[in-house]
């Protein structure tokens, strides 16, 4: 009788911490969800994480062979060292040695990657990559920011120091673009994230020329990108124009990516991707105009929304140990 392998995956987020046990044939055997105790510091969070890893390990190691532990973390994460570098979503973790802390407790090497790369791996092996039968893709996660991950021939391309795939910081509006948290301006993230949508709406409201958005703000001062999308779907021209800018920004960024990477598949995930119907036309207009590689390969270059939902991070972490060995 042969023993199946299992892996343990960790999805470390700024709000939630999820730990799962996984086998290729059965999928997720179990998932533990905890709050990320950011206020108690990185050591406390790693203690919670490692306790959950031990629990899953003890529960499943009599049935299955532990093939590895995979961890997805917010970035910037310097690899292979596994040290966080001023991570905006993990305040107080600058220079924290995440790999050393986890490996010290687990007593074995772990596979570590930034969360956007991990989600891209899951989408490639279990989501759209599987549906389109391709082994390479670039994923853009349109959330609070814009994360990205590149999978080339089934493996994460993480570059020299683990920081590849930062497509949110492609230059789009080189002059006159909105300020980006990275210190530049006009980045894709500044215009195609939920934060960017809210900021563009605030600018319109401040100009006093967008009555629908002004009413939204009066009713709900902490409105978010979804509220702007609802307004656009109800026909408000100013809200629609904001998603026009989102689409143009994505099309210009994708044009650069298609010209440089020539991949078969680009996947848009994250909450803002739900507004696909509001931004896809200007996206393809810019892409066709600005990428002759796209025009030459449009029949086999696919731009689609993601298939996996919020589980992508946990599933990708569970897949990490096997991609590292392949």
Residues 175-214: x/- map of binding to a copy of itself (CB under 8 A)? xx-----xxx--x---------------------------
Q: In angstroms, rounded to a whole number, what is the distance separating the alpha carbons of residues 33 and 17? A: 6
Q: In angstroms, rounded to a whole number, what is the distance separating the alpha carbons of residues 67 and 229? A: 44
Smallest gap from Cβ 166 to a copy of itself, in A, equals: 4
Q: Are 4 and 60 in contact (CB under 8 A)?
A: no
Query: Which one, 21 or 79, has the nearer CB to a copy of itself?
Result: 79
- Figure out which of the listed residues 136, 141, 280, 322 binds a copy of itself, where binding follows CB under 8 A: 136
* Contact call for residue 142 and a copy of itself (CB under 8 A): no
- Figure out which of the listed residues 68, 87, 147, 162 binds a copy of itself, where binding follows CB under 8 A: 162
* Contact call for residue 159 and a copy of itself (CB under 8 A): yes
Do β-strands 155-156 and 16-23 pair in parallel, antiparallel, or remain unpaired?
unpaired
Smallest gap from Cβ 300 to a copy of itself, in A, equals: 7
Q: In angstroms, rounded to a whole number, what is the distance separating the alpha carbons of residues 72 and 319? A: 11
Of 312, 122, 307, 282, the residue nearest 192 (C-alpha): 282
Q: Are 202 and 227 in contact (CB under 8 A)?
A: no
Q: Judged by CB under 8 A, which stretch of 19-27, 53-61, 260-268, 312-320 contacts a copy of itself?
A: 260-268
Smallest gap from Cβ 323 to a copy of itself, in A, equals: 15
For the chain, the C-alpha Rg in angstroms (whole number) is: 20
Query: Which one, 110 or 252, has the nearer CB to a copy of itself?
Result: 252
* Contact call for residue 290 and a copy of itself (CB under 8 A): yes
Q: In angstroms, rounded to a whole number, what is the distance separating the alpha carbons of residues 101 and 82? A: 10
* Contact call for residue 241 and a copy of itself (CB under 8 A): no
Phi-psi label, residue 97: left if phi above 0, alpha if psi -120 to 50, beta otherwise? beta
Smallest gap from Cβ 186 to a copy of itself, in A, equals: 8
Taking the CA atoms of residue 94, residue 98, residue 104 and residue 108 in that order, the dihedral angle to the nearest 10 degrees is -160
The residues that touch a copy of itself, with contacts defined as CB under 8 A, are 76, 78, 85, 136, 148, 150, 152, 157-167, 169-176, 182-184, 187, 252, 255-257, 259-264, 289-293, 295-297, 300-301
């Amino acid at each position: 009788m042969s023993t199946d392998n299992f892996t343990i995956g960790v999805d470390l987020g700024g709000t939630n911490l999820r730990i799962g046990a996984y086998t290729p044939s059965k999928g997720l055997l179990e998932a533990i969800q905890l709050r990320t105790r950011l206020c108690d510091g990185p050591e406390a969070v790693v203690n919670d994480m490692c306790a959950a890893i031990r629990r899953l390990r003890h529960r499943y190691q009599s049935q299955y062979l532990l093939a590895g532990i995979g961890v997805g973390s917010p970035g910037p994460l310097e690899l292979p060292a596994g040290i966080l570098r001023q991570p905006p979503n993990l305040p107080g973790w600058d220079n924290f040695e995440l790999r050393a802390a986890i490996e010290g407790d687990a007593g074995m090497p772990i596979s570590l990657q930034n969360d956007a790369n991990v989600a891209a791996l899951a989408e490639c092996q279990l989501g759209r990559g599987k549906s389109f039968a391709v082994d390479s893709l670039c994923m853009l996660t349109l959330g609070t920011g814009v994360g990205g991950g590149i999978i080339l021939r089934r493996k994460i391309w993480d570059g020299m120091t683990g920081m590849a795939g930062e497509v949110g910081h492609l230059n789009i509006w080189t002059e006159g673009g909105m300020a980006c948290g990275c210190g530049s301006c006009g980045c894709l993230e500044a215009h195609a994230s939920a934060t960017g949508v809210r900021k563009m709406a605030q600018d319109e409201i401040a100009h006093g020329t967008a009555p629908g958005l002004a009413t939204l703000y009066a009713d709900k001062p902490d409105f978010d990108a979804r509220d702007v999308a609802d307004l656009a779907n109800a026909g408000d021209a100013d809200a629609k124009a904001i998603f026009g800018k989102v689409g143009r920004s994505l099309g210009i960024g994708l044009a650069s990516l298609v010209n440089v990477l020539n991949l078969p598949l680009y996947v848009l995930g994250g909450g803002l991707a739900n507004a696909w119907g509001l931004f896809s036309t200007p996206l393809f207009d810019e892409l066709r105009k600005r990428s002759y590689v796209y025009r030459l390969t449009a029949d086999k270059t696919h731009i689609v929304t993601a298939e996996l939902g919020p589980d992508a991070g946990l599933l990708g972490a569970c897949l990490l140990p096997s991609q590292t060995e392949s």
